[in-house]
A and B are shown apart, each in its own frame.
Chain A
Amino acid sequence: MNKKLLTGGLIIAGIILLAVGIATGGASDVLNKAIRICYECVGIG
């Protein structure tokens, strides 16, 4: 398959998924996790 076509397709798919994710609240899920100390990350449990 043409490499440029594949790259373009992946970028477009990424943008579409990102847009759907934002519309369905995925971005706020990421934010809500990231603004609290991650106990698993720092080794508390």
Chain B
Amino acid sequence: MKIGRRRLTQVIAAVLYNCNFTGFASGSIYKGELKNACVPGLNCYSCPGAVGSCPLGSLQQSLVSSKYRVPYYMLGMILLLGALLGRFVCGFLCPFGLLQELLYKIPTKKIKKGKWSRALSYVKYVVLAVFVMVIPLASAVPGFCKYICPQGIIEGAIPLAIADGDVRAMLGKLFSFKLVIAVIIIVAAVFIFRVFCRFICPLGAIYSFFNRVSVARMEVDEAKCTHCKACVRFCKMDIKKVGDAECIQCGECAGVCEACAIARKPLTVKKGEILTKE
């Protein structure tokens, strides 16, 4: 079985983010200096394998403690990651994006995008405002981590609870609530392409602000473009145009562009090249 360049990058990123393999057996988390820095994608820092910090968890924690210290570090981290990578992170460097794409490969009838999904794609900005900004600032609680994040359950709670009886004994109603949310997202991801990324993920929402100006970006050569919209129809995300806020820079549209008008910046995608082998 051949594996595409993008899928390979996704797998390597997921493994590198979580390469503290002994933590899974011991039920303990990595406590080294690497956790000073954040990984670009959504990856729970309470995963026993995690060797870096979660950008979203760290941002919320820095907002929780912002009355004591202005969160320059996390604002700089997010700004730098966004300006360099934009939503390239979603397409190539996010373990939860990879998991959803693999779930979507399960052969069932799929729910295609439409006006409904385009409308729902704005929900992630509400999640960003309410759960990542307002709740941490107003209630000193990392709202997204506490009430929504499925990665905390999949990567954090479940491996820790399997390996550590003390953690298992402490799990209660909040765990059950989050587990239900995680299961709903996982089941939905089988039928709807990247359901979490498109409608809920506040990290994708943050990176979307940078997607048109980031160093890594997709661009359409207007001189070559015939406006046939084959790229928009082919894309499973809710884009209106290649490279807009919903584009995860997977580059698969370049393979269907007859006019060779789509290019990845700073690297290029050749016509007919499919980065993810189906």
Chain A residues close to B by CB (< 8 Å): 3, 6-7, 10-11, 13-22, 24-31, 33-38, 40-45
Q: Select one of A20, A30, A37 contacting B35, CB under 8 A.
A: A30
How many A-B residue pairs have C-beta atoms within 8 angstroms? Tell me: 164
For chain B, give the interface size range.
35 or more
List 8 extra interface pairs beyond A17-B79, A33-B45, CB under 8 A: A27-B36, A30-B61, A38-B46, A40-B141, A41-B46, A41-B145, A42-B46, A43-B175
Task: Mark each residue of chain B from 168 to 211: 1 if its CB lies under 8 Å from any CB of chain A, else 0.
Answer: 00111011111100000000000000000000000000000010
How would you classify the secondary structure of chain B's contact residues: helix, strand, loop or mixed?
helix
B75 at the interface (CB under 8 A from A): yes
B278 at the interface (CB under 8 A from A): no
A35, B75: Cβ atoms closer than 8 Å: no
Are A40 and B146 also in contact (CB < 8 A) when A21-B71, A27-B36 are?
A: yes
User: CB-nearest residue of chain B relative to A19?
Assistant: B76
Task: Mark each residue of chain B from 35 to 61: 1 if its CB lies under 8 Å from any CB of chain A, else 0.
Answer: 111100000111000101110011001
A28, B36: Cβ atoms closer than 8 Å: yes
B153, A26: Cβ atoms closer than 8 Å: no
- Shortest beta-carbon distance, B7 to chain A, in Å? 27
How would you classify the secondary structure of chain A's contact residues: helix, strand, loop or mixed?
helix
B152, A31: Cβ atoms closer than 8 Å: no
B174, A29: Cβ atoms closer than 8 Å: no
In the complex, A38 Cα to B142 Cα: how many Å?
10
Are A18 and B73 also in contact (CB < 8 A) when A7-B214, A30-B58, A33-B61 are?
A: yes
User: CB-nearest residue of chain A relative to B141?
Assistant: A40
- Shortest beta-carbon distance, A13 to chain B, in Å? 6
A17, B73: Cβ atoms closer than 8 Å: yes
B84 at the interface (CB under 8 A from A): yes
Are A26 and B62 also in contact (CB < 8 A) when A7-B215, A40-B146 are?
A: yes
A44, B72: Cβ atoms closer than 8 Å: no
Task: Mark each residue of chain B from 143 to 156: 1 if its CB lies under 8 Å from any CB of chain A, else 0.
Answer: 00110010111001
CB-CB under 8 A from A36, the residues of chain B are 29
- Shortest beta-carbon distance, A38 to chain B, in Å? 4
